[in-house]
Each structure stands twice: as C-alpha cells, then as structure tokens.
Amino acid sequence: MKKLSRAVIIIAAIMGAAVPAMAQGPKPESSLNNPLALTLVVIIAALALIIGLLAVVVYGAAEIELKKQKTSKPSATALTILALLIATAAGAQDAAPAATAAASDNVGGLSGSTYYILMAVLLVEVAAIFFLLFQLRFLLGAAKPKITEASTSTEGAVEYKPAAPQLSWWDKFNKFRPVEKEADIDLGHEYDGIRELDNRLPPWWLYGFYITIIFAVVYFYRAEVSHAAPSSAEEYQAAVAKANAQQEERLKDQKNRVDENTVVLITDKAELEKGKTVFMSTCTPCHGQQAQGIVGPNLTDDYWIHGGKINDIFKTIKYGYPEKSMQSWKDQLSPVQIAEVASYIKSLRGTNPPGAKEKQGELYTEDGSSAPAADSTGTAKADSTKPAVK
C-alpha cells in the first residue's frame, strides 16, 4: 500500500513537471532542432527528475516525522506534495499564455514565445525545488531536536541510542539502511556463506541512469532523425568555411599575398632565422641538417633540378614536383613562410657541407637573364653579399 502510494507520488512528480513541457510539445516541435530549445528541454527534464527525487526524500522524511508523532497519516503529506506538484503544473500553464502574449521577438533563434514558455517552466521548477528543499529542511530540523531530546531524557538507557541513529547526508543520498538493521532485508539464503541483502537502488544512481537514457534518445534523435546536429562531414565543412573566411581576411594584407611571381629574396637576418626554423623541422628529413642532400638533392651547390631562382624555389616548395617526389607544402606552410625558407635555402649557397650529395640538375647562375625586373634588385642584392660568404 505504502509502496503504491509512493510510486504514485513519484510518477505524479515527474508527470507534473513533464506535463507543461509536453504541453508545449507541439509548439516548439519545429524548434526542437534549435540547440537552445533542446538545452532548455533537457534542463527541464533533469529538473523534473530532481523534483521527483526530492519529493521522495521529503516524503520519506515526513514519514519518519509522522511515525515519531505516532500519527499514522502518511497520506496527508502525500496530499500536500501532490497538491504542490499540481500547483507546479498549473503554475506553468498559467505562465504560458502570459508569455505568449508578451513575446514576439527572437531569442537565440527561438521564437520569443517558445523561449519564454520554456523559461517559465524552468523557473517554476526551480521554485518547486526550493520549496521542497525548504520543506525538507523543516522536516529534518524538526527531527533533530527530537533525537537529542530522546538521548538526553533517557540518559541512563544506553541501548536506546542506536535505535535512532543519526543519518549523514551520504547515508540519505544512498538510501542506506543502518547496518544494525540489515537483518530485516537479508534475503535469507546463502551461497557458500555469502548472504545477500535487498537494499534499495541508490536513488542518485537510478535517476542518473534515467538521465543517460533521456540523453541517448535526444542525442540519437538529433543526430540521426532530425539531423539537427551536424554530421562529421558537416562539421568539417563548417571548419573549412571558417578557415577560408579567415584566410580571406588575411589576404587583405598585401604581405600575405606573396606568390611565385612576386616573391623577393629576403636578406633580413631575423626573417632568415624563421626560415631556418622551418627548414630544420620540415626539410631536413630529405635534404639533410645542412641541406647537403640525402634522398633529396643538395641545396647548397649551384645545380638545380627545378631552377635556382628565388621564384623557382618558391614554386617548387609551394606546388612540389610529386613525380620527382618533392611534395607540395602550400597547405602546411604559409606563403610568407615559403618565402622565408626559400630565402634561407638561397643563403646556404656555397656552404659546402660535409657529405654533400653529388650535383643534380642544371647549372644555375645568378645572371637573372630571364628574371622579371621586379625581383632583379632582390637577386642582385643577394648576389652582392655572396662573395663575402665565400
């Protein structure tokens, strides 16, 4: 009987909170794909569960209190709680039309009315939780002095104490039964000396399980039925679109627009140092620590397979020559970086490192015969510094 009434209350608690949410069911259906709406609905569901949980706890506390007073009228508390819950539902429904009338603008992509309705439900739920908490505090507060009273009044009787053990929050949280009373729930059989108790499921565990199930249903619905959540491919497309927008922004800066036609040899020490860093982390596996060449060609001599002009080197790095096993770096190095590393490579000319690979490709001299006027100055500048290095 008691179990039944308790179950009814729990269900009523959940329904009480869920009804307003459901009442809005048809309305936000179109906006159920909206992340904000969904978040709110999930929060509402979670709060509903918390209300249910609290209702059980309050009920239990009330029962203890009632037992103490020897007035066995648990249904009274039940009615109180039930009334409260009905009020919750009713309150939510009252709030709804008011909100609808008030709002017409958009909030977070939701129609205003939907948003305010959801928020109203949420607020009412929060209020209900506070109310339940208050009740609980009241009930527990009532219980406490009783215990101390009992223990002081029966100072002589030592064995009376364990009869009213103090429950810690942890005990309540898990619905622990005092160890001394576990004989009541012993199932009465044993396997090789192992006995089993029939403790209740820890409420937080059970409600946690429900929450994960709700999560699962919502997640799967969003991902695979309504397709409100982006698929893996859509997430990728969004990331690329964002990156492209950033890239466009970047290209507004003339400096970043450097390409194989406009590149100019860099001689600034600091920038060459940057080029060196890139070289060390990117080029050495094939060209060696000192550009002496391993499977890639030696980059310090005057022989070049794809041309030795700064523009040619830039182009080689940027697009690669896949058929000759030089890969394209345009997706991994920025144009500025390519210019820096190309210039760094040119700065290594004539360093003649140990173990240098034999010459490959055509002899290239810095006469700039076919170079456009734009970069001939750069080349010339670099050229003039060369003899000193030699």
Partner 1 sequence: MQLEKFYYDNKIVRSFAYATVLWGVVGMIAGLWVAIQFYAPGASLNYAGTTFGRLRPIHTNAVIFAFVGNCMFTGVYYSLQRLCKARMFSDLLSKIHFWGWQSIIVLAALTLFFGMTTGKEYAELEWPIDILITLIWVAFGINMFGTIIKRRESHIYVAIWFYIATWITVAMLHIVNSFEIPVNLFKSYSWYAGVQDALVQWWYGHNAVAFFLTTPILGLMYYFLPKAANRPVYSYRLSIIHFWALIFLYIWAGPHHLLYTALPDWAQSLGVVFSVMLIAPSWGGMLNGLFTLRGAWDKVREEPVLKFFVVAITCYGMSTFEGPLLSLKNVNAIAHFTDWIIGHVHIGGLGWNGFMAFGMLYYLIPKMFNTPLYSKKLATNHFWLGTIGIVLYAIPMYWAGFTQSLMWKQFTEDGVLQYPNFLETVTQIIPMYITRSIGGALYLTGALFMVYNLYKTVKQGSFIGDEAAEAAPLEKAHSHGKEYWHRVIERKPLQMLVISLIVVAIGGLIELIPTFLVKSNIPTIASVKPYTPLELQGRDIYVREGCYTCHSQMIRPFRDEVARYGEYSKAGEFVYDHPFQWGSKRTGPDLAREGGKNPDSWHFMHMFDPRQVSDKSIMPRYPWLYQNDLDISTTPAKIRAMQTLGVPYEKGYDQLANTELETQAKKIADGLKEDSKVKQLMTVEGMANPEKKEIVALIAYLQRIGKDIKAEPKSTTVQASLK
Q: Which two three-digit tokens encode residue 165? A: 């053990």
Pick the closer one to partner 1 by CB: 174 or 351.
174
- Judge contact between 275 and 343, C-beta under 8 A: yes
Footprint of partner 1 on residues 145-204 (CB under 8 A)? Answer: 174, 176, 179, 182, 186-187, 189, 191-202
Q: Does 228 bind partner 1 (CB under 8 A)?
A: no
The residues pairing with 191 across neighbouring beta strands, listed in sequence order, are 194
Pick the closer one to partner 1 by CB: 75 or 244.
244
Residue from 325, 352, 377, 384 in contact with partner 1 (CB under 8 A) = 325
- Three-state DSSP state, 17: helix
Indicate the DSSP class of residue 244. Answer: H
Pick the closer one to partner 1 by CB: 160 or 209.
209
Task: Please state the closest distance from residue 329 (CB atom) to partner 1, in A.
Answer: 8
Size of the site for partner 1 (CB under 8 A): 67
Side chain identity, residue 60? G
Going residue by residue from 353 to 382, which x/- string records binding to partner 1, judged by CB under 8 A? Answer: ----xx------------------------
Q: Does 246 bind partner 1 (CB under 8 A)?
A: yes
Q: Does 223 bind partner 1 (CB under 8 A)?
A: yes
Going residue by residue from 256 to 295, which x/- string records binding to partner 1, judged by CB under 8 A? Answer: x------------------------xx-xxx--x---xxx
Residue 91: closest CA among 29, 20, 18, 27: 20
**How far is CA 107 from its chain centroid?**
23
- Three-state DSSP state, 334: coil
Radius of gyration of the chain, Cα coordinates, nearest whole angstrom: 39
Task: Please state the closest distance from residue 358 (CB atom) to partner 1, in A.
Answer: 6
CB burial class (10 A; 0-12, 13-18, 19+) of residue 233? exposed
Pick the closer one to partner 1 by CB: 125 or 301.
301
- Three-state DSSP state, 279: helix
Task: Please state the closest distance from residue 229 (CB atom) to partner 1, in A.
Answer: 9
Spell out a b/e string for 144-160, using b for 16 or more CB atoms within 10 Å of the CB, else e. Answer: eeeeeeeeeeeeeeeee
Residue 261: closest CA among 212, 303, 318: 318
- Three-state DSSP state, 229: coil
Applying CB under 8 A, the residues found at the interface with partner 1 are 174, 176, 179, 182, 186-187, 189, 191-202, 205-206, 208-209, 212-213, 215-217, 219-220, 223-224, 231-233, 235-236, 239-240, 243, 246-247, 250, 256, 281-282, 284-286, 289, 293-296, 322, 324-325, 327, 329, 331-334, 336-337, 357-358
